[in-house]
Structure 1
Amino acid sequence: MTQIKIYGVKDYLNPIKQQLSDAIHTCVMEALQYPADKRFHRFFPLDKSDFYYPSGRSDHYTIIELSMFEGRSVEAKKQLIHLLFERLQPLSISPQDLEITIFEIPKHNWGFRGLPGNEHELNYKVDV
């Protein structure tokens, strides 16, 4: 399972939500061999006055946080990061304006559909 939170200035983020979600999902599918029907994206469009970020960033500054089951290889996670930096540039999100954080959660610490994650049969691999 991978849940994704996307933070950005609402005036920029709102008009590109669908394209951004599509681009992120294709990266996750490719790097993590994730199923096409498993998309868990949450957008947090913020007023500019509620989003402080470092100098040298533009109003396109975007933070992507990915929470996922532990078990992916370092190579798969690095590939995901590289793909995101590359494929979000056409949406005017430069590498300077993008920060990505991956949080890995043990399956037993994640509950969904009435059970802890380690008690579910998944229809995709985690050890990629």
Structure 2
Amino acid sequence: MLSRDQGSPFRDAWTGMGSLMPVEGALIIADEQDAGFVVLHLGWGMGDGMELYKLYIAPSFRGRGIGRQVVDMVAEWARDNRRTSIMLEADPRSWGFWTAYFHDVSGVELAGLNFVWTL
């Protein structure tokens, strides 16, 4: 999965975009293969909030709980780094994943396809 061996599992993903907005990202590894990626916008315009900008799990790795583990790690990282909220815009194709994930999570508001999770 995401390795913590080198400190934070999230590293700069797009240096070109980093000049406009701080961005962190990580490659997701499962069974010693690239299973997906996650990208975070850290300068998202809500004070100490952040945006889970992209979460992609390759089709052959879906349904194994990897996405849920990654979102759990993002939330843990956000709390450890004093982020107060996580915003994400759900792609309609991933709506089932997000509604299932947030079903029992407190502090989540929904506006259209946007979720705002107050940590």
TM band (smaller chain)? 0.3 to 0.5
Comparing both chains, which one has the higher relative contact order based on Cα–Cα distances under 8 Å and sequence gaps of 6 or more? Answer: 1
TM-score normalised by structure 2 residue count? 0.37
Bigger Rg over Cα: 1
Structure whose residues are more often strand by fraction: 2
Structure whose residues are more often helix by fraction: 1
